[in-house]
Structure 1
Amino acid sequence: MALSPPLAASDGAPEAESEAALPPLGVMGTIPIYWGESGTFGELLAGEADLHWARASLERDYRLVPLDYLSREALAGQKFLLLAQPRGLTADENVALDAWVRSGGHLLLFADPLMTGESRFALGDRRRPQDVALLSPILAHWGLELRFERTQSADWQMRDFAGTPLPTRLFGTFGKLGEAEHCTLSAGDMVAQCSLGSGFALILADAAVLDLADPAPQSDAALAALVARAFGDIAGRSGIGRVNAVSSDNIAENQEYDRNSGGLVNDPETISSPP
């Protein structure tokens, strides 16, 4: 049997060109969408990391760009950004993120008040996804407060979002600080859609849809619907007036909120304490 001739270097070019043609999507967070759960860098190189199913799903339509810090320079080339249970942001990161959204960026943010997904790493391990969202400053800056009802069932629940069932577990809800006319709440107040300047933020008070070890069967379709809403042609078209209630240049000065105006910096007390 004749062997096929070896592939020329140029034979792989169409695939590379196709990947480069995909729009870039910045990804950051303690949920390991890009790298998967790995104990060491050696595991990554050996392909032994527990890869996250969402990466393949997202890479059907986007070229993922992993980020570890939200500076003006890092965000300059991005139109779309996905933050999956990010660590507490610094004052400079809050300023950069707010300015980026208001200048036309589209954000999909998962901010879970009590993570339920299993991890190979024990509680307290820094490689484990962050158990509690610590994003009070930026949420309050956008007129939102993250809340948690401790008496809810720990079972899977489905909440409807624009005709798509979202799988949730121990989810949070959003409340508005003041008028916050630039944000609308849906899915039982679990989802906030905010038109900020010329940009748009879709924010979920839950991240169960991104569970790595045992995702719900509906998770892939739910993530696709959220991505389409956040980054697609319909993003921001919900009849919300675009409001710039607070400019981004003074968010750093307002990092230290008191309890009467939205909570303290990264203070879990601004969220109803989990059980």
Structure 2
Amino acid sequence: MRSPARCSRSDRRSRPALCALIALAALAGCGRAQEARQPVTRPIGLYTSLPIAWHESARLSDLLDRAGEPHWALATIGRHGALRPLDTLDGPDGKLPLPPHALLILAQPRPLSPRENVALDDWVRAGGRVLLFADPMLTAPSIHPLGDPRRPQDVALLSPILARWGLELQFDETQAAGERTVPLARGALPVNLPGRFRAGSPDCVPEAGGLLAICRIGAGRVIAVADAALFESGDSPNLAARRAALDTLLARLAEPRAH
């Protein structure tokens, strides 16, 4: 693996997650000592358009150089497994580049290619587990203008894979904007202009009025969330609630039983 200093400008444009992973590895080598705990071996893939594994930056050259605290979600994810940012869901062999025992977080991903849809569905049906955040109206601010490829995905466009799993993402345009907290079967979730899932399959169980859908897909499992406001800024006064919500969702995803 190349050092961060040799991650080229073209790399930063075409493979931002790889460059971010290189930077995270470098930071880990000189970071503060972690509390002693059992080693975590389960990989957790992260495929997202949101600035979770890297900072938003006005210039591509600043992608790795910008100083600042890492996104709050990284520490929470790290308690459940070893983070593995992904640039694609379609590996060289046509398969999703994660082992069957891994977890995968899809957080407001860009539209998936046909090959990515197939690779993702095959991986889940073989036993993979996915925590999906699909927001029909993203409220998180961005420094990038509309149309900029670095801007997070404003509207989740995942109809093919959702339909394959028996889900339809709906959105109520008449609802009032503003963050609120929705109680779940376990814990609560901060949301802002969320959608809802309509389940057309008995293998999918809606929760909290369709804000969540918990699906058994073949031998695997999907927990789908119709909002992504959870990942908004760590400056939020509700940071503790955000951490607790993500922690609970990841714990539910890893449980032996599907529902």
- Tell me the TM-score normalized by structure 1: 0.74
Q: Distance in 2 between matches of 1:77 and 1:109?
A: 17
Equivalent positions of 1:1-275 (< 5 A) are 21-48=40-67, 51-71=70-90, 72-76=95-99, 79-177=102-200, 180-212=201-233, 214-215=235-236, 216-217=238-239, 218-231=241-254, 233-234=255-256, 236=258, 238=259
Q: Distance in 2 between matches of 1:29 and 1:224?
A: 18
Q: Distance in 2 between matches of 1:25 and 1:36?
A: 20
Q: Distance in 2 between matches of 1:39 and 1:22?
A: 35
Q: Closer, same or farther in 2 for the Cα pair 1:58/1:124, shift >3 Å?
A: same
Residue 124 of structure 1: how far off its partner (Å)? 2.3
Q: Distance in 1 between matches of 2:147 and 2:229?
A: 20
% identity of equivalent residues: 44
Deviates more, 1:80-89 or 1:118-127: 118-127
Residue 49 of structure 1: how far off its partner (Å)? 6.0
Q: Distance in 2 between matches of 1:202 and 1:176?
A: 12
In structure 1, give the amino acid aligned to 2:76.
Answer: S
Q: Closer, same or farther in 2 for the Cα pair 1:214/1:75, shift >3 Å?
A: same
In structure 2, give the amino acid aligned to 1:43.
Answer: D
- Counterpart secondary structure, 1:45: coil
Q: Closer, same or farther in 2 for the Cα pair 1:214/1:234, shift >3 Å?
A: farther
Q: What's the RMSD between the two structures over aligned residues?
A: 2.4
Aligned residues of 1:82 and 1:109 also touching (Cα < 8 A): yes
Q: Distance in 2 between matches of 1:73 and 1:224?
A: 24
Q: Distance in 2 between matches of 1:147 and 1:204?
A: 12
In structure 1, give the amino acid aligned to 2:227.
Answer: D
Higher Rg of the two aligned structures: 1
Q: Closer, same or farther in 2 for the Cα pair 1:18/1:46, shift >3 Å?
A: farther
Q: Distance in 1 between matches of 2:53 and 2:166?
A: 30
- Counterpart secondary structure, 1:193: strand
Aligned residues of 2:100 and 2:123 also touching (Cα < 8 A): no
Aligned residues of 2:213 and 2:225 also touching (Cα < 8 A): yes
Task: Give unmatched runs, 5+ long, in structure 2.
Answer: 1-30
Aligned residues of 1:102 and 1:196 also touching (Cα < 8 A): yes
Q: Distance in 2 between matches of 1:109 and 1:207?
A: 9
Deviates more, 1:37-46 or 1:57-66: 37-46
Q: Closer, same or farther in 2 for the Cα pair 1:39/1:235, shift >3 Å?
A: farther
In structure 2, give the amino acid aligned to 1:32.
Answer: P
Aligned counterpart, 1:271: none
Q: Closer, same or farther in 2 for the Cα pair 1:99/1:78, shift >3 Å?
A: same
Q: Which has the higher contact order (CA 8 A, sep 6+)?
A: 1
Aligned counterpart, 2:21: none
Residue 22 of structure 1: how far off its partner (Å)? 3.4
Aligned residues of 1:19 and 1:63 also touching (Cα < 8 A): no
Aligned counterpart, 2:14: none
Matched length: 221
